[in-house]
Structure 1
Amino acid sequence: MNDPKSWLRKNPQVRTIRAAASDLNGQPRGKRVPARFADKVVEDGTRFPLSVLNLDIWGEDIDDSPLVFETGDRDGVLWPTERGFVPMPWLEAPTALLPIWMYREDGRPFEGDPRHALASVLKRYRKKGLTPVVAIELEFFLIDDSGKSLQVPLSPRSQKRRKAAEVMSIRALDAFDIFFTDLYDACEDMDIPADTAISEAGLGQFELNLMHQPDALHAADDAWLFKMLVRGLARRHGFAASFMAKPYEDYPGSGMHVHFSVLDEDGNNIFDDGGPKGTDTMRHAVAGLMGAMHDSTLIFAPHLNSYDRLVPENHAPCGISWAYENRTSAIRIPGGSPKGRRIEHRVAGGDVNPYLLLATLLGAALIGIEDGVEPPAPITGNAYAQELPLIPGSWGAAMDAFEASTVMPRILPEGLIRNLLLTKRQELHFMSELSPAEQVEIYLDTV
């Protein structure tokens, strides 16, 4: 963490700051403050209603929410996170973002803040002397949304559109080299550990990996900030970027794959048995993930458009399974050195809230470890061709499963579960009144 006050002194060019927290949809909510008054935010925190972290995708209050009229729409107090200030290179004027998180007036963490949900899960790991090591892969689309239909942007280099999937194409990366060069520079400025970028199977689709690190809160911050950065920087370059799950009907959607291992107090990977199979503890973690997968689909697929991605043979898992080195499975155990033995969870779309995603995955894995659950045998071959238990196939069914779950209350706070369900049911109601084009319009720039 940088010291916020000294960071501002070292960066006198910054004219304004944004103090922002993540709501349940992963949207940044907060305030713009002149830099000369930023010390007050650092020292005294800032205030806004608790209900602000529980708005729908349009930024509207949730009907019948206990956070609004029932309790007088009372304030929470928001304090800087450990992250400190980060620059916002996508804006024209020199600006800094101060990530904040919400507490109640009496100092208790606000249970509706998704960052606190992840922090609570990590506290349980620490009590056992364990530390998750997390890496995140994010897929996104570069899109020209200036016309009536979405299409690939013109290449800044050739002024041509390449209307074809180009898996791992150097040419596709080079076509947007100026954008990616600026993106890597911005990631370095923001201390986001951006690693390898590749082109993917969709039109103008790319994937960028964030390096693994033994601080899951920092990893979730990185993903949250990265999504803001990519969307904002793309607009500076004259096109859009989107993490929506599936903008094109005929091409695969975007996922957010999570890799994780767990270290003990001596720094040993507790999934490493010295060979390719992994330890009993790893299998228990896999079983915990599988046991929670059906009920937690609403976390992995939180929007109406999310379910367009979750269809067979489209590089997105529909069945609940695990396997070694098999990308058709929901949970994959990658090969490589036993020291790096890890679990890859492949269900979530690019449109998720990274704090809720990591809280759910790490919480489910811990339940499996604590309960000593054994998974079924790993599958081999094409998962889509096998009879497997399925995750919910629709948004409404995912909400019902989430609401009826007995495992989700072991992972997430009761208040957050209630608030998220109220949010999603309200969104379901109003999304049904919109045309497909109107639905795409709201998702394109938000998720």
Structure 2
Amino acid sequence: MKNWLRKNPQVRSLRLAAADLNGQPRGKRVPVRFADKAIDDGTRFPMSVLNLDIWGEDIDDSPLVLESGDRDGVLLPTERGFMPMPWLDTPSALLPIWMFHEDGKPFAGDPRHALDAVVRRYKARGLTPVVAVELEFFLIDDSGRHLQVPPSPRSGKRRKAGEILSLRALDQFDNFFTELYDACEEMDIPADTAISEAGLGQFEINLMHQNDALRAADDAWLFKMLVKGLARRHGFAASFMAKPYEDYSGSGLHMHFSVLDSEGQNVFDDGSETGNDTLRHAVGGCLAAMSGSTLIFAPHDNSYDRMVPGAHAPTGISWAYENRTAAIRIPSGSPVSRRIEHRVAGGDVNPYLTVAAILGAALNGIEDAIAPPAPITGNAYEADLPQIPSNWGDAIDRFETSAEVARIFAPELIRNLVLTKRQELHYMQDVTAAEKVEIYLDTV
């Protein structure tokens, strides 16, 4: 880490940041001359900081605040190390950090530690998950009273319709996407294909699969930070808000994963087009945990506007082969690459919690040999299926009491997230629709 700074003497400012439960970066700005202290000793701030609501306020009655004296945690650098922050004018570097207790024990309320605990469960069985995510987002002109797509820097015109896989739509923002890919290269984020999507000014970028789930979640978290910051440099907003426009589809975060054994073989592959029992057991685990973990996949009030029939977001608990109306899709392709695509999460999620929830549920299914129901065919919206929770309050209640969730997340994290979401639910009842957009547009 110190060598990186020596090789980049232009850096004048540092940010030390960890993800809170809402996926918000929380941390400090530090002068470069104090970098060695941050690397060697870490930094400190209250444990409650990783458990703030969407407004950045303390959680009422949280045991992390007054009850404990609002005590500090110790935040140490992750293995990611320093990386540039290309969206800032001042040459700056970001150092991702995560929280520990004074005695070195991981803080269970840190979402990155939650994912690390799931990965360790896999390692204990000689297994390694391979993860890739697809992130959808909107480019938005939010300078007026109503949201609209930004005018094209090339033509000055606004693209007032969704254009699926339109090269013209991509080319209208060529400079933005060129800078975005350059910035991903600088930050070592493996950005792959970009496409235009069905929403107004909506795009998707895939991040390449990798056999380090923590790094994959890091990449998603950092990518969201980068896209939002870089868009502002171009004079518009980028938002991962689940549903900014009532009449257009919302944004999702689709996660693909497979699992390797100790010899590097895909445990889902039996040489067939359908995969083996291990794949089906992983699917069974994901389906069994889906209702209880919906709060992870749809963590905000606006999240539930996306999850409506016919809007390219699943509403029924189901799986299928090569069918994008199902909550879980098994893509076609070479058997050696057999994988599961989990399609429930919105773009507004915390990537660490989402990856942990999906991988943890799959491992529950593998460990318990959970047999899923038969895969569906046809339109899932028209099928008679058990339904994913369709409102925020139900999702909070089910998350709190789910036996499947209790096997994935520490009791402390479950408690903290429930307290956070109940506080947000309470205060959102007095917020207008326009104010909700203002709250979520830049935060999530």
Task: Classify the TM-score, shorter chain.
Answer: over 0.9
1:220 counterpart letter in structure 2? A
Aligned equivalent of 1:424: 421
Cα distance in 2 between the residues matched to 1:439 and 1:380:
37
> What is the deviation of 1:298?
0.2
Which of 2, 17, 20 lines up with 2:17 in the alignment? 20
Aligned equivalent of 2:166: 169
2:106 counterpart letter in structure 1? P
Aligned equivalent of 1:108: 105
1:416 counterpart letter in structure 2? L
2:303 counterpart letter in structure 1? S
Aligned equivalent of 1:373: 370
> What is the deviation of 1:403?
1.2
Aligned equivalent of 1:192: 189
The answer to whether the aligner puts 1:73 opposite 2:106 as a matched pair is: no
2:74 counterpart letter in structure 1? V
Cα distance in 2 between the residues matched to 1:355 and 1:312:
27
Under a length normalisation based on structure 2, what TM-score does the superposition of the two structures give?
1.00
Matches within 5 A, 1:241-280: 241-280=238-277
> What is the deviation of 1:409?
0.8
Alignment gaps of 5+ in structure 2: none
Cα distance in 1 between the residues matched to 2:31 and 2:159:
43
Aligned equivalent of 2:399: 402
Cα distance in 2 between the residues matched to 1:121 and 1:194:
25
The answer to whether the aligner puts 1:444 opposite 2:420 as a matched pair is: no
Aligned structure 1 segments of 4 or more residues deviating by more than 6 angstroms: none
Q: Summarize deviations over 1:346-405 as a string: whole Å, max 9, x none.
A: 000000000000100000000000001100000000000000000111000101111121
> What is the deviation of 1:421?
0.3
Which of 64, 88, 104 lines up with 2:85 in the alignment? 88
- What is the CA RMSD across the aligned residues, in angstroms? 0.4
**Structure 1 SS opposite 2:195:** strand
Aligned equivalent of 1:211: 208
> What is the deviation of 1:106?
1.1
Matches within 5 A, 1:303-318: 303-318=300-315
Cα distance in 2 between the residues matched to 1:272 and 1:95:
45
Q: Summarize deviations over 1:79-136 as a string: whole Å, max 9, x none.
A: 0000000100000010000000000111100000000000000001001110000000
Matches within 5 A, 1:132-147: 132-147=129-144
> What is the deviation of 1:292?
0.1
> What is the deviation of 1:162?
1.0
> What is the deviation of 1:275?
1.2
2:159 counterpart letter in structure 1? R
1:267 counterpart letter in structure 2? G
Cα distance in 2 between the residues matched to 1:375 and 1:89:
45
Q: Summarize deviations over 1:403-440 as a string: whole Å, max 9, x none.
A: 12111110000000000000000001111111000000
Cα distance in 1 between the residues matched to 2:370 and 2:435:
45
**Structure 2 SS opposite 1:445:** helix
> What is the deviation of 1:269?
0.3
Name the count of aligned residue pairs.
Answer: 444
> What is the deviation of 1:303?
0.1
1:53 counterpart letter in structure 2? L
Aligned equivalent of 2:353: 356
The answer to whether the aligner puts 1:293 opposite 2:311 as a matched pair is: no
1:389 counterpart letter in structure 2? P
The answer to whether the aligner puts 1:229 opposite 2:226 as a matched pair is: yes
More off after superposition, 10-19 vs 401-410 = 401-410
The answer to whether the aligner puts 1:435 opposite 2:406 as a matched pair is: no
1:432 counterpart letter in structure 2? Q
Cα distance in 1 between the residues matched to 2:190 and 2:390:
34
Which of 93, 117, 129 lines up with 2:114 in the alignment? 117
Cα distance in 1 between the residues matched to 2:391 and 2:372:
26
> What is the deviation of 1:250?
0.2
Cα distance in 2 between the residues matched to 1:223 and 1:206:
15
Cα distance in 1 between the residues matched to 2:404 and 2:372:
16
1:231 counterpart letter in structure 2? K
**Structure 1 SS opposite 2:154:** coil
**Structure 1 SS opposite 2:395:** helix
